[in-house]
Structure 1
Amino acid sequence: MGIDVSRASDARIQNFLLGGADNYPRDRQAGKELLALAPDAQRLARIHRAFRMRAVRYLAAERGVRQFLDHGPGLPVRGSLPVHQIARRAIAQARVVYIDQDPLVVAHARMMLEEPGTLVLDAHVLETDAILSGIKKAGFYDPTAPVAALFVSVLHCVPDADDPWQSVRHLIRSLPSGSYLALCHLASEDEDFREEVTSLMSESTDNEWACVRSVDQVHRFFEGLEPVGGPLGDVAYWRSTPDIQPQQTRRWFEYGGVARVP
């Protein structure tokens, strides 16, 4: 599938917000419209990238995880290392599967990330059976060893009608005991604001963007799991430097954390 530059894409909008070069005029227009409505959108993009790096570092260095499934890795930007480079600072043999269906993301991943110990799969992030089948076919990972499944600010692209909660539960049930879920999601307790952002971004991306969710809706992804490394909440403060001060007012934020599979 080719790259459609007539509509914005979530990955390219995020790339624009992060100061990257892999975006087109429609993406920049959508990004500017989002910033006009929510000026802290750029800050949230930086927060979820930083959370991914801290979560992977924690899981590899402190939990000994050497297998990662990165759902929706996004496009490269300066200052943000890919998962395999972060993990291998702690465990040289760490193996990472990058999963995305955005054609530009997949092309970049295959050019820049595919190397011994990494695998790039062109698949929707919730096509769990196809993803696990592809990994198995490639003989890529040990099905008895813990796996970290990463969903870092990607599930806002999945509508409620597709039941992303059930899909994440299905993946979790398919992983060995002692695996982990690292997830964050755009969240807001302001229903009107959720609807404003969702409407704007859904129109810009031709419905690739699904929705900002409430905290309770995001919290459901962690049902039955044990939070580790810190409590669930605004991931800006999950294992972050102690001098970061919480925002006094905020209309939305990245809610999530890391949790262990029993």
Structure 2
Amino acid sequence: MTDRDDRNTGLQTDRPHSARVWDYLLGGKNHYPVDSQAGDMILRTFPEFAAIARLQRSFLVRAVRFMTRDAGIRQFLDIGTGLPTTNNTHEVAQGVAPDSRIVYVDNDPIVLAHAGALLRSTPEGKCAYLEADVRDPRRILTRAAETLDFDRPIGLMLLNIMGQLSDEEEPERIVSELIDALPRGSYVALSDGTDTSDQLKAAVEAYNAQSVNTYHLRSPEHIGSFLKGLRLVEPGLVRSADWRPDPESAGVTREQGHAAGAVGLKE
């Protein structure tokens, strides 16, 4: 991506942004030098971080595939989707069920600029993009209802997004409000980084000191509490890499497992 004047687009290119840094760690091209520099700083402090990013993407694939293939879900609300990469939610879901409908939500202007890649739906299904902040669940739910039928089960994707909120921003309340709006039979996939590594905590602290937005590591138990009231699908709350693993996530080391994830059913 070339440097340009982004004052009128809302883009901040003088400081790293989580979506662009994540894109860099996943091997993407939609980032600025300041983002790759931040990514390299993270990797110097915690070399396994890129592996965690890839494992989180693999968790998304397995969770969406389970919901679509095994649970019959045909609608998805993906909040904090980030920049388009391989195996986006609609690609996985529509690969199983072409009539699936997906609403992507993000508040990063650069994600909006690349939203076209997220909207390449099958003819039978539909994809929509909503520019909104997870801190405003009422707006998200109202706008998502223009594409999704809230009388039918929905798969809610909350991957690496609640860690963007501090405890003072009440992430538990926000997740609860989103879940309350879902009909019975819906599923929620949630995953975030854990505070189980001193090296990872040091890397995140260094990133937070220079980034537009901050990330907040939490204990696995705290992350699991966001899904209170749901019946967790086996194997429950585990390392993301251990949730119904496939050959791609086999042999994950302890250092690469500092993210917890689960899928819960609203009964």
Q: Tell me the TM-score normalised to structure 2 length.
A: 0.89
| 1:245 aligned partner | 251
Match of 2:240 among 235, 238, 241: 235
Aligned counterparts of 1:17 and 1:253: Cα–Cα separation in 2: 16
Task: Report the AA paired with residue 150 of structure 1.
Answer: M
User: Where does residue 209 of structure 1 map in the other structure?
Assistant: 214
> For residues 23 and 88 of structure 1, what CA distance do their matches in structure 2 show?
28
Cα distance in 2, alignment partners of residues 143 and 76 from structure 1: 26
Alpha-carbon distance between aligned partners in 1 of 2:45 and 2:66, rounded to the nearest angstrom: 34
Find the residue that maps to 1:198 and give its secondary structure.
helix
CA distance in structure 1 between the partners assigned to 2:231 and 2:240 by the alignment: 16
Greater Cα shift, 235-244 or 166-175: 235-244
Instruction: Please show how residues 124-163 of structure 1 align to structure 2 within 5 Å.
Output: 124-136=133-145, 138=146, 140-163=147-170
**Per-residue deviation, 1:201:** 1.6
1:93 is displaced (CA, Å) by: 1.2
Question: Are the equivalent residues in 2 in contact too, given 1:188–1:252 (CA < 8 A)?
Answer: no
Q: Which runs of 4+ in 1 moved over 6 A?
A: none
**Displacement of 1:256:** 1.0
1:90 matched to 2:89: no
Q: Which residue of 1 aligns with 2:72?
A: 64
Deviations 1:15-53 (A, max 9, x none): 111111111111011101111111100000000111111
Match of 2:10 among 2, 5, 26: 2
AA partner of residue 208 (structure 2):
S
> Does 39-48 or 222-231 show the bigger shift?
222-231
Match of 1:254 in 2: 259
Residues 237 and 260, structure 2, Cα contact 8 Å, conserved in 1: yes
Give secondary structure in 1 for the equivalent of 2:226. Answer: helix
Deviates more, 1:82-91 or 1:112-121: 112-121
Distance 2:107 2:261 in 1: 23
Q: How many residues align?
A: 254
Q: How does 1:165-176 map to 2 (within 5 A)?
A: 165-176=172-183
Structure 2 residue 87 is the aligned partner of structure 1 residue 81: yes
Any conservation in 1 of the 2:195–2:201 contact (CA below 8 Å)? no
* Most deviating of 44-53 and 226-235: 226-235
169 and 194 in structure 1: CA distance in 2 versus 1, 3 angstrom threshold: farther
Q: Provide the residue aligned with 1:182 in structure 2.
A: 189
- What is residue 57 of structure 2 aligned with on the other side? 49
Offset, 1:125: 2.1
Q: Tell me if the contact between 2:84 and 2:118 (Cα under 8 Å) persists in the aligned partners.
A: no
Contact 2:106–2:130 (Cα < 8 Å) also in 1? yes
The answer on whether the counterparts of 1:228 and 1:258 sit within 8 Å (CA) in structure 2 is yes
44 and 251 in structure 1: CA distance in 2 versus 1, 3 angstrom threshold: closer
Identity %: 31
1:241 CA drift (Å): 2.2
Describe how 1:104-115 pairs up with structure 2 within 5 A. Answer: 104-109=110-115, 111-115=116-120
8 A contact 2:46–2:200 mirrored in 1: no
Query: Quick check: 234-243 or 7-16, which moved more?
Result: 234-243
Structure 1 residue aligned with 2:5: none
Which runs of 5 or more structure 1 residues have no equivalent in the other structure?
A: none
